[in-house]
Amino acid sequence: MLNIVIFGAPGSGKGTQSEKLVARYGLQHVSTGEILRDEIEAITELGKLADSYMSKGELVPDCIVIDMLDSLIEKKKHVKGFIFDGFPRTVPQGEALSKMLSKHEEDVNAVISLEVEDEELIDRLLKRGQISGRSDDNRETIEARLKVYYRQTSPLKEFYKERGILKEIDGIGTVDDIFRTIEKEIDQLIK
């Protein structure tokens, strides 16, 4: 299996590049944000709980997300691999992901880190909010999410760098140019 984590601040292009990776390599896309938003929309207990955190720009507790992912991986054992989009977000989640994958005799093969400056991220997310109507894409919530990202999520870069699987990719440019850079990194892994 090919298991990839796509990593970057909110608005860095993780979802867009994930779609291209799914199409190119036949991976199962795992977006915890999408899964959680679906739960919120369906007004499930998990969705209500997740919304109480997400609406304030906070992260959903690890135990909820990890259990949800473990169940998904169990159901999808036949796939070529997974692309984890929006998870892990903390070092303990990174450790938990590796531990969970090892139960399935798997691990993370590569971490793609999309690097984008803050002002560009804010502009992208404000535009996305205008287009999609996502209520969490307003300046106040975006700035809160970026602070959470730098405080809790960016230490993952060092965690994965120490494991030798971090690939830092410039997230500025056309979608296709960025993807070609990612593709070169993944193709080297597969060889």
Angle between helices 91-103 and 155-162 (to 10 degrees): 40
Q: Which fold has domain 2-180?
A: Rossmann fold (3.40.50)
| Residue 56 annotated among the catalytic residues of the structure | no
| Residue 180 annotated among the catalytic residues of the structure | no
Residues constituting the chain:
191
Out of 20, 124, 145, 167, pick the active-site residue: 145
| Residue 163 annotated among the catalytic residues of the structure | no
| Residue 14 annotated among the catalytic residues of the structure | yes
**Strand partners for 82:** 3, 28
Which residues lie closer than 8 Å to 138 by C-beta, 6 or more apart? Answer: 126, 129
Query: Are 153 and 160 within 8 A, CB to CB?
Result: no
E strands, 81-162, in order: 81-85, 110-115
Neighbours of 90 (CB within 10 A): 18
| Residue 139 annotated among the catalytic residues of the structure | no
pLDDT, tens digit, 9 for 90 and up, residues 159-174: 999 999 999 999 999 9
* pLDDT, one tens digit for every residue, the chain (191 residues): 899 999 899 899 998 999 999 999 999 999 887 778 877 898 978 788 888 988 888 878 888 788 778 877 888 889 999 999 878 988 999 999 999 999 989 999 999 999 999 999 999 999 988 888 877 778 999 999 899 889 988 899 999 999 999 999 999 999 999 999 999 999 999 87
Pick from 8, 32, 2: nearest CA to 117: 8
Quote the pLDDT of residue 117.
95
Residue type, position 171, single letter: G
Out of 24, 56, 80, 134, pick the active-site residue: 134
Out of 14, 20, 124, 167, pick the active-site residue: 14
Out of 37, 128, 157, 161, pick the active-site residue: 128
Out of 20, 89, 124, 167, pick the active-site residue: 89
